[in-house]
């Protein structure tokens, strides 16, 4: 049970994370800065961060600090259904992250399984339907990801941009809507990514490049296979990180 002081800290930080004020991959302020901001003790701050970790909102990396993890966009009906809830007609069923109903952790393994079927077909359609402008957008996201290797938040955004650009090229709005509903939660944020390990990001970029190459060549089967391979490897990387953790 959190104390009144830590409850106030938890509520404030949770609100900033879920609203996007603190974006995925962003490092939280230091303990000293949080102590000054909230006028509480170090014990209260550590208790608060522990609660946020338990909710899956942040991850702490020894020697690096605490980072915001990817969360779905507000009112994600897909995520709500995955936890047995029903979407509200006015809010879409999204959790507000209140103290009585904390945000449940994202099951990234299940999300990746869902994305394998969704995005492999979107990539195939994109190879058949993409325009020159859409191909340029995919290539731009690929370049942005490569340049963001030292910045977890920037690499996450470029990753999202790449996958969304592929679904946009499918010319099927339902694929794009599904990814938008998942929001940044669709991209896992394990310790390896937070530490911006170059070999991990290089592998992802090479897999993205294979998808782009097939879409550029107008090869639907190749694009589908490349996307499936990429997401299956992402699932394997996620499992390796869990075993190491």
What residue spans of 170-219 are helical by DSSP H?
A: 173-182, 191-194, 198-216
One domain for residues 100 and 130: no
One domain for residues 80 and 117: no
One domain for residues 131 and 233: yes
Provide the mean pLDDT of the chain.
Answer: 81
One domain for residues 56 and 102: yes
State the average pLDDT over residues 55-84: 67
Confidence of residue 30 (pLDDT cuts 50, 70, 90): very high
Domain containing residue 52: CATH number:
1.10.10.10
One domain for residues 90 and 114: no
pLDDT of residue 195: 55
One domain for residues 114 and 224: yes
pLDDT of residue 98: 45
Question: In whole angstroms, what is the distance from residue 76 CA to residue 180 CA?
Answer: 9
Pair of tokens at residue 63 = 């020697």
One domain for residues 192 and 213: yes
* pLDDT value at 104 more than 60: no
Report the share of the chain in percent with pLDDT over 90.
45
One domain for residues 117 and 87: no
Contact 151, 243 (CB under 8 A): no
Q: Domain boundary residue among 49, 82, 106?
A: 106
One domain for residues 6 and 62: yes
State the average pLDDT over residues 76-85: 50
pLDDT of residue 78: 54
Counted domains in the chain: 2
Pair of tokens at residue 24 = 């995925």
For tokens 């090479």, the residue is 206
pLDDT of residue 18: 81
pLDDT of residue 93: 41
pLDDT of residue 90: 35
pLDDT of residue 23: 80
* pLDDT value at 7 more than 50: yes
Domain containing residue 228: CATH number:
1.20.120.530
Between residues 19 and 136, the one the model is more confident about = 136
pLDDT of residue 157: 84
State the average pLDDT over residues 86-114: 56
* pLDDT value at 121 more than 70: yes
pLDDT of residue 94: 42
For tokens 């990753």, the residue is 159
Characterize the bridge pairing of strands 65-68 and 58-61: antiparallel
Query: Domain range for residue 171?
Result: 107-244
* pLDDT value at 91 more than 70: no
One domain for residues 229 and 126: yes
Question: In whole angstroms, what is the distance from residue 93 CA to residue 54 CA?
Answer: 22
* pLDDT value at 82 more than 70: no
One domain for residues 117 and 228: yes
pLDDT of residue 64: 78
User: Any idea what DSSP says for residue 101?
Assistant: S
Burial degree of 49 (CB within 10 A; 0-12, 13-18, 19+): buried
At 201-214, the pLDDT tens digits run 888 999 999 999 99
Pair of tokens at residue 50 = 């522990």
* pLDDT value at 160 more than 70: yes
């Amino acid at each position: 049970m959190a104390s009144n002081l830590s409850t106030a800290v938890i509520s404030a930080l949770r609100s900033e994370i879920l609203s996007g004020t603190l974006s995925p991959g962003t490092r939280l302020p230091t303990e000293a800065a949080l102590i000054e901001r909230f006028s509480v003790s170090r014990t209260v701050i550590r208790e608060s961060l522990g609660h946020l970790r338990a909710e899956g909102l942040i991850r702490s990396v020894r020697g690096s600090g605490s980072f915001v993890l990817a969360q779905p966009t507000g009112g994600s009906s897909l995520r709500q259904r995955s936890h047995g809830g029903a979407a509200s007609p006015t809010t879409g069923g999204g959790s507000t992250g209140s103290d009585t109903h904390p945000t449940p952790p994202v099951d990234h393994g299940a999300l990746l399984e869902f994305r394998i079927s969704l995005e492999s077909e979107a990539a195939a359609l994109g190879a058949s339907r993409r325009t020159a402008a859409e191909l340029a957008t995919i290539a731009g996201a690929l370049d942005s990801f490569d340049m963001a290797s030292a910045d977890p938040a920037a690499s996450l955004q470029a990753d999202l941009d790449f996958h969304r650009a592929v679904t946009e090229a499918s010319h099927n709005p339902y694929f794009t809507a599904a990814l938008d509903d998942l929001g940044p939660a669709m991209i896992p944020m394990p310790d390896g990514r937070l530490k911006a390990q170059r070999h991990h990001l290089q592998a992802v970029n090479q897999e993205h490049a294979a998808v782009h190459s097939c879409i550029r060549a107008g090869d639907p089967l190749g694009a589908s296979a490349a996307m499936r391979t990429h997401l299956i490897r992402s699932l394997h990387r996620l499992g390796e990180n869990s075993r190491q953790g």
